[in-house]
Amino acid sequence: MLIDTYGRMATDLRVSLTDRCNLRCTYCMPEEGLQWLSKPDLLTDDEIVRLIDIAVTSLGIEEVRFTGGEPLLRPGLVGIVERVAALRPRPQMSLTTNGIGLGRTAAALKAAGLDRVNVSLDTLRPDVFKTLTRRDRHKDVLHGLTAAREAGLTPVKVNAVLMPGLNADEAPDLLAWAVEHDYELRFIEQMPLDAQHGWKREGMVTAGDILASLRTRFELTPESTEERGSAPAERWLVDGGPHRVGVIASVTRPFCAACDRTRLTADGQIRTCLFATEETDLRGALRSGAPDEEIARIWRLAMWGKKAGAGLDDPSFVQPDRPMSAIGG
């Protein structure tokens, strides 16, 4: 098991398959991109599957989320999903994506064993999408969402980040659109994971702002604490249900006390928290011939040292050196 000193048990593994992305979202990376990891630094498909196997069979992992960067850019993605689906016990598998490549891959991913997807879409306005992502690919994301729903990668969850002066007014429109298309919408507070280190708490759209905006058009009934469990999103029934909307308030309403996640970066590092400034190397152990038992021991030790919280409210908080694209959401 992956247990820390505060009694939390990690059962959810986030696996970053690549640091590369085909968008340049303003809250994630600069327009020119980043210094990408070299191919020898990346875990191979076999190494990824082996680490997931260890996590599932020896460490109590029950859910695996594939992330990036943009995971659909990983050439071996479908094969990785298929091999992980064959593990026993079989973990639940999901994918967080910008949706651009889903139109051509959704059916194959479903056939390989993927259970569902989270798709990032911050706006319904193509011009605002182009400003936020520095790419004119809005139609491709909408097409990808439709393909995911038709392939049965459900519930299809849509993640939206609201930015002042760009799309902060779109919360009610996004929710109405999500209800119409049977997507589960989740708003995410902008987090301090941008490569430019330009994040400022006083300039962000908070969970309170989002809920106040939504309530101008919808009746929201809070979900019970028991239903939420360790999920990062607080959820509300929309106009009595059955549709729900979620808010992930990592900054203003942190959920660290219930965190059940462990993270594997594309270059084989364990991160105990999205905001961690330290990592534990598993790639070196893999490539030096360490047996599964030794790798599991290193992983357990890393998680044992997990901090109580992210510390975003602490004035001494230091933003992680890696941007979101290199860590995985």
- Binding-site residue numbers for [4Fe-4S] cluster are 21, 25, 28, 256, 259, 273
Q: Which helix (H) or strand (E) holds 118?
A: strand 116-120
DSSP bridge pairs for 186? 159, 246
Q: Which helix (H) or strand (E) holds 50?
A: helix 45-58
The residues, ordered by sequence, that sit 6+ positions from 272 with a Cβ below 8 Å of its Cβ are 4, 262, 263, 302, 303, 305, 306, 307
Q: Which residues line the annotated binding site for S-adenosyl-L-methionine?
A: 27, 69, 120, 191
Phi-psi region of 68 (alpha: psi -120 to 50; beta: other; left: phi over 0): beta
Q: Which residues line the annotated binding site for GTP?
A: 14, 65, 96, 157, 261-263
DSSP bridge pairs for 248? 188
Within 10 Å of residue 46's Cβ, how many Cβ atoms?
12
C-alpha 258/C-alpha 251 separation (Å) is 15
C-alpha 267/C-alpha 50 separation (Å) is 14
C-alpha 173/C-alpha 159 separation (Å) is 14
C-alpha 120/C-alpha 72 separation (Å) is 13
Measured N-to-C along each axis, helices 126-133 and 138-151 cross at an angle, to the nearest 10 degrees, of 100
Measured in whole angstroms, the distance separating CA 321 from the mean position of its chain's CA atoms is 18
- Give the DSSP letter of residue 204: S
Q: Which structure tokens are listed for 119?
A: 């798709």
Closest CA to 267 of 50, 42, 51, 71: 42
- The bridge status of strand 184-188 relative to strand 220-222 is unpaired
